[in-house]
Structure 1
Amino acid sequence: MLNRVLIRKPDIDNDIAEELIRTAKDRIKLRVGYYEDVFPSELESIVVEVVCAMYNRMQLNQEGVDSERVDVFSVKFIANLLDEYDEELEAFKRKVHEEELEVSGHAKLRFL
């Protein structure tokens, strides 16, 4: 994944990129309830996009800040970087759950 991040953000320091990748992967695993050691390749693109967004915020020295006005001192914080990926993350969770059911012998019966 580091190579993919470096293609999008060639000026990023490798150590910072690795830390951001680790953080994004940890958050995604918690969000989808995935506790295996090997990170699923289906979610790698989300990690890359989230890392780029995290790095952009670091560069602006406004991590977590969406907008700020000096005259009124209004700051709007972004609730969660992963929110825009909820649909994809939910689809992954369903897929993993269905695979677990099949392995355990409790697969769903579907009527067509």
Structure 2
Amino acid sequence: MADHRIFTTSFASVYPHYVAKAERKGRTKAEVDDIIRWLTGYSQKRLDQQIAARTDFKDFFGDAPAMNIARDQIKGVVCGVRVEEIAEPLMREIRYLDKLIDELAKGKAMEKILRTPAS
């Protein structure tokens, strides 16, 4: 598969859209950051550095310290495509993030978004 345009797009250029989408629905930037950190393993400091450096999506996910092993539990449709059926690994990671932000904007509880097991 030829590289999709999103792969070379800076994460920093899309991040404000994630935050705006969440805030329009009464959620917070902190919750968006929690989701990104859960998915990628970045600390807040490293996440902020990636944003400041305008790292592209390919390197943002490629450099992620520890992609969450529970991310394969993320199911559903984003942009008309089932995320669990996306064959291209990087595109699947990007769509996982999109799906998590969608869930946040739809009012889903953070425990469910972060796939926290019930106690």
TM-score bracket, shorter-length normalisation: under 0.3
More strand, by proportion = 1
TM-score, normalising length: structure 1:
0.26
Structure ranking higher on relative contact order (CA contacts 8 Å, 6+ apart): 2
TM-score, normalising length: structure 2:
0.25
